[in-house]
Amino acid sequence: MTANGTSAATPGSVPSAGGRVDWVDYAKGICIVMVVMMHSVLGVEAAADQTGFMHVVVMFAKPFRMPDFFLISGLFVSVVIDRDWRVYLDRKVVHFAYFYVLWVTIQFGFKAPSFAAESNWAHVGLLYLESFIEPFGTLWFIYLLPIFFVVIKATRRMPPLVIWGLAALLEMAHVATGWTAIDEFAARFVYIYSGYLFADYVFALSDRARARPDLALAGLALWALVNGGLVALGVSEWPLISIALGLAGACAIVTLGTLLARAHWLTWLRFCGEHSIVIYLAFFLPMATTRTLLLRTGWIADIGTISLIVTVAGVVGALAIWRIALTAGATFLFERPAAFWIAPKKSRTTLQPAE
């Protein structure tokens, strides 16, 4: 989810009446659905100790699922990077820190009784404190984003291609310390930095896809064959191949998002992209509830079907929780209250990156 920053019109941007970029929201919608799908499918399969047809989809998306999310998150960084540190930290750090603290507390509250049953409540307290060092559950993405944004601003005076090269080497090193923040930083920084550094090229790619949909579709078909083939061969995580598939997959999602926006198809994906942070924060509850219900009742025997239903429940359930929160006046769950802003709120008169 890109941070709360404003952006001027960018080549290739097609704004809606609300000032958003159409293909960016489509691409983010695809990304967030794939994230929910991954957690849903792997969770169901782990609980059932067997795999279903959805496993193939998850494995196909693995090389690019998170790279495209991070690349898109970097597209609008250049708009705010030269602002003073106070404004930058408000838009790129405090924003996500607020949601991380709030939702790690909410998620921990649901899981604390089971943790206590396995050990004791004192240990539960220590686990909660540890979640501010070791990202908790599904929330590692918004834990890492502020770190990425600070590093990008702190290194903006350094040669960008040197930074990119070092980031690429980190990705190819496949760092595995066991600490999520360290390992994911090494694996993902190159993608968000690529979004920041090569934003003009990404928007140009969208322009070309919009102008020549026939060539764009041919390119997507070729990409799908190559990506699927390398995954099937078991080499998709090899050095060089992994970063190539990550960047190619991110470009594919940009292209697909552009084609969907051009045709105005699957507008529910655009809606999901517009509210991707809502889905990301809240999908764990409907996902876990639906998974437990279906597996315990045995109403459906096919694991793939259960996985698909749990995925849909995670997305729809998160949006339902958001609507209920708005109706109940609990907007603080999904909107940062004024008390937690450290800089004046931004104007909404210019194009908005997806939040």
Integer-rounded Cα Rg, in Å, for the chain is 20
DSSP character for 338?
G
Identify whether 92 is part of a domain. yes
Amino acid, res. 71: L
In a domain, 2, yes or no: no
Q: Where are the beta strands (DSSP E) in the chain?
A: none
* 3-state SS assignment for residue 14: coil
Report pLDDT for 354. Answer: 37
Contact indicator for 273, 351 with CB cutoff of 8 Å: no
Inside any domain, residue 10: no
The reply to whether 288 falls in a domain is yes
Measured CA to CA, the distance from residue 70 to residue 190 in angstroms comes to 9
Residues 6+ apart with CB under 8 A from 103: 139, 281, 282
- C-alpha distances in angstroms, 90 versus 95, 133, 149, 270, 339? 6, 21, 11, 26, 12
178 membership: H or E segment, kind and range? none
Total number of domains constituting the chain: 1
- The verdict on residue 351 lying in a domain is no
pLDDT, one tens digit for every residue, the chain (355 residues): 433 333 333 444 555 545 689 999 999 999 999 999 999 999 999 999 999 999 999 999 999 999 999 999 999 999 999 999 999 999 999 999 999 999 999 999 999 999 898 888 998 999 999 999 999 989 999 999 999 999 999 999 999 999 999 999 999 999 999 999 999 999 999 999 999 999 999 999 999 999 999 999 999 999 999 999 999 999 999 999 999 999 999 999 999 999 999 999 999 999 999 999 999 999 999 999 999 999 999 999 999 999 999 999 999 999 999 999 999 999 999 999 999 999 988 654 333 443 4
- Report d(CA 341, CA 207) in Å as an integer: 36
Residue appearing with tokens 């908005």: 352
Residue 256, CA distances (Å) to 28, 288, 336 in order: 11, 30, 31
The predicted structure's pLDDT at residue 203? 98
Q: Quote the pLDDT of residue 346.
A: 67
Residue 3 covered by a domain:
no
pTM across the whole model: 0.92
The domain in which residue 197 lies consists of 22-340
